[in-house]
Chain A
């Protein structure tokens, strides 16, 4: 379980997160909704320990990441897959190497075992046969799928998605949304989806929170006028 407790963060005088609290239970997808530039990505990075917080704490299965050293944070991160908004795929590596990297780095799997695992992941994300392609020859949607595949490499307990459907055409958007739902239902992946897209939020979220002016609040019913206002 992930618990975010009273997390605050400001950049100079700009308050980005103001006493933000929520939790992510097992096999639950939490959506953080909010207009662009409200600090949703900062929140995700704060949860991962990539951005230090000014106050509050984040607990992974009861362990506060503010109270542990870097090596322990790395151990926790092995249980988290992160899909970056810009995908952050390694452009010098092909699809196979991108997905294989965490497996090679953190397990003692043989070359053939690594390849089998990557092939299996590519089947899950619907990208079979694309192992040899480089990110530069993939469309935006395909890159997003490969980023999800790389996040799955270590079979993490949690998946974080940062704007997973932004900039995608409707068909690819549905494909990514269905993949997120499948991963939760079939593989019991809990996680957080950060988005400003109302349709994505409604489709994937078990619980939806709105982040606005640093404050977070639970949304019971999404209404466009509330979101825009």
Chain B
């Protein structure tokens, strides 16, 4: 399959998964299950990543700026950096590594063990049963995880600045809030919504297309993560261009 037919097939698959009868009465529980699995399941690793994102960012920022600009700029810089870029993209990449691969492996295993055929035979649309809850689930969970990640990173940055860089909380907070633009925060969230769609679409697509056995399931998981990661970076640029460009 060449690149263009792959993009076409991927797009058709994505829209076929989303624009169908949702049968919300039965699908809502599966959506909630995915929100829980993606959201709560990813929370520990997201918090760990956020802690170190905050710490590394404040160390790097202070190294480059302290002595040349007022100290409150640390709060401003960290805030904007985390909300516009680091929060959304690192959260998305972590969730991609954890969830796109598990979606591809789970759906791929269902494909090779004929469980997807079983759904078809039972007159249950596998696109609605398997893909829709995952797409909607991650669409809800990822922005929430992103906000939590940003909050944790900022708290850690502020704590480090207070105790190790001699920047009081009030000064850090002044820099953070005085130059706060809603566009930065919501722009980052809009990015995370796009990221959510490509993570779920990649996981479901490569799982669905598995033919063969365990080896192909493993390959599908790898393709899903690689594709989702590349698409996240491409979309990051495109959305940044539209919102902040």
In contact, B123 and A106 (Cβ under 8 angstroms): yes
In contact, A80 and B124 (Cβ under 8 angstroms): no
Q: How far is the CA of A154 from the CA of B123 in the complex (A)?
A: 11
CB contacts (< 8 Å) of A150 on chain B: these are 122
| A198 interfacial contact with B, CB 8 Å | no
Q: How far is the CA of A150 from the CA of B110 in the complex (A)?
A: 17
Q: From A79, which residue of chain B is reached at the shortest CB distance?
A: B123
CB contacts (< 8 Å) of A50 on chain B: these are 117, 120-121
Contact of A86 among B114, B121, B129 (CB under 8 A): B114
| B115 interfacial contact with A, CB 8 Å | yes
CB contacts (< 8 Å) of A84 on chain B: these are 114, 117-118
The residue among B114, B117, B129 with the most chain A CB atoms within 10 A of its own CB is: B114
In contact, B113 and A102 (Cβ under 8 angstroms): no
**B213 → chain A closest CB, angstroms:** 12
Q: Number of residue pairs across A and B with beta carbons under 8 Å?
A: 50
Binary flags per residue of B113-141, CB closer than 8 Å to A gives 1, else 0: 11101101111110001000000000000
CB contacts (< 8 Å) of B23 on chain A: these are 105
CB contacts (< 8 Å) of B68 on chain A: these are none
The count of chain A contact residues (Cβ–Cβ below 8 Å) is: 23
Q: How far is the CA of A102 from the CA of B122 in the complex (A)?
A: 6
**A173 → chain B closest CB, angstroms:** 21
In contact, B121 and A78 (Cβ under 8 angstroms): no
In contact, A104 and B123 (Cβ under 8 angstroms): no
Contact of B121 among A75, A77, A89, A104 (CB under 8 A): A77
Contact of B122 among A45, A75, A86, A101 (CB under 8 A): A101
Contact of A80 among B110, B117, B121, B129 (CB under 8 A): B121
In contact, B120 and A77 (Cβ under 8 angstroms): yes
CB contacts (< 8 Å) of A78 on chain B: these are 123
CB contacts (< 8 Å) of A101 on chain B: these are 122, 124
Q: From B110, which residue of chain A is reached at the shortest CB distance?
A: A90
In contact, A88 and B123 (Cβ under 8 angstroms): no
Q: How far is the CA of A218 from the CA of B104 in the complex (A)?
A: 44
A–B pairs, 16, beta carbons within 8 Å: A77-B122, A78-B123, A82-B121, A86-B113, A86-B114, A88-B115, A88-B117, A89-B118, A90-B110, A90-B118, A91-B115, A101-B124, A102-B124, A105-B23, A105-B122, A154-B122
